[in-house]
Structure 1
């Protein structure tokens, strides 16, 4: 039996898709099946992962992005073009955007900061989830302290006027994470842009700042 059918059968065994299952259950199943894969070379794993993206529903996507993350030690710069194609082909909502970008795709950018400039082209994509990805993909590198050659504020500038509230939340979230590393950078950015910045992004960005600073910014 091929791996995709094994995944389908195992998912059915925990009740998916007819019953509600928890993400933790799917991730546990993902780890279990991954251990049994006969070939863990990145090429073989990403081929299987892409096949899983065709399984209807979020569980297949969770497993796919999890497996892609598990071969992170084998990433090269060329992996970016596979992941970018997945992003533009399969990602359609904020949930799969965030799962992919805060694990596999984010790790790739953390490893190769020079690929950052390629992500800035996403800000013009017709799919809001791809535009959101331009910001969310920086969250993992920032959290890990591996973002020195990226430009989070440039990304915020590029997305600044995006009208989709989930894109606004996306770059607000990125700024919020950045504020834990560089609070003064984010405070200065918010002080400089408070008049025109969408309030959704503004509020998200300040959430991790100290209480007095949040109060002062909200009063601007």
Structure 2
């Protein structure tokens, strides 16, 4: 039995129909929703991580097959394996993994998939490289590519490098999707944890045109006085 077939069989043993129904609602899989058509087995993340560790040497060819599955947990396990391989790889391995990630980004198509992988693959890879690809993704018509762009900057923020996070946040100020509003607000809040003035200066310039959700996420850690000033548009 191939490694990929065995991996899928192991996942089936952890399937839970009741949890699958809950996850399907949580990840908005209904008609017209952002996760439309996504299928869940009901395997929780700790179980997926155990399986990813067991099969962490899966080939890129088989990871691609897993990543293109309609089953959500298959795609998440594929990405966990990819993140683990990236962490253990040399520069050549990492280049191949980032190239693979960007080539098949259309399958990284829910917020948990993006948030787990974007900071840890393209974000980490671009720490000391040209970041033009993130600006291309930020301008994409694809919701998930835009989320990859802003979430990748988390890797930079962790290193106290805020410029691209703030610039990409500015590009996404007028995005029409709630999931981008939340991600941008989250990254601005992360900037503020490390450099309050950098976040506050950004907000002073842009808060009047920011979507409410984005602003609410961004000011979550502010004291009540400052929070009211920004949220009330003063």
* Pairwise same-fold verdict (TM > 0.5): yes
Alpha carbons 2:134, 2:149 under 8 Å: kept: yes
Question: By how many angstroms is 1:5 displaced?
Answer: 0.2
Equivalent position to 2:53, from 16, 19, 31: 31
Q: Is 2:193 the counterpart of 1:180?
A: yes
TM-score for both structures, normalised by structure 2: 0.78
Pairs aligned (count): 207
Match of 2:100 among 77, 82, 97: 82
Q: How big is the shift at 1:21?
A: 2.5
| Structure 1 partner of 2:81 | 67
**Offset of residue 8 of structure 1:** 0.9
Q: Does structure 2 retain, via aligned residues, the 8 Å contact 1:66–1:104?
A: no
> RMSD of the TM alignment (CA)?
2.3
What do the CA deviations read for 1:132-169 (whole angstroms, capped 9, x no partner)?
Answer: 211111123323x2646x52111011111111121121
Matched, 1:113 2:131: no
The residue that corresponds to 1:193 in the other structure is 206
Structure 2 segments unaligned to the other structure (5+ residues): 21-40
Contact 1:159 1:171 (C-alpha < 8 Å) held by counterparts: yes
In the alignment, does 2:64 pair up with 1:47? no
Question: Structure 1 residue 97 and structure 2 residue 111: aligned?
Answer: no
Q: Secondary structure at the match of 2:43?
A: coil
**Greater relative contact order (CA < 8 Å, ≥ 6 in sequence):** 1
Residue aligning to 2:152: 137
Post-superposition Cα deviations, 1:187-212, rounded to whole Å, max 9, x if no partner, equal: 11111112112211111111123444
Inter-partner Cα distance in structure 1 for 2:43 and 2:59: 25
The whole-number CA distance in structure 1 between the counterparts of 2:96 and 2:224 is: 44
User: Quick check: 11-20 or 169-178, which moved more?
Assistant: 11-20
Contact 1:113 1:147 in 2 (8 A): no
Contiguous gaps of at least 5 residues in structure 1: 38-43
> Counterpart in 2 of 1:155?
168
Counterpart Cα distance in 2 of 1:57 and 1:183: 41
Q: What's the offset of the Cα at 1:122? A: 0.9
Contact 1:97 1:129 in 2 (8 A): yes
Matched-pair contact (CA < 8 Å) for 1:45–1:68: no
Length-normalised TM-score, structure 1:
0.83
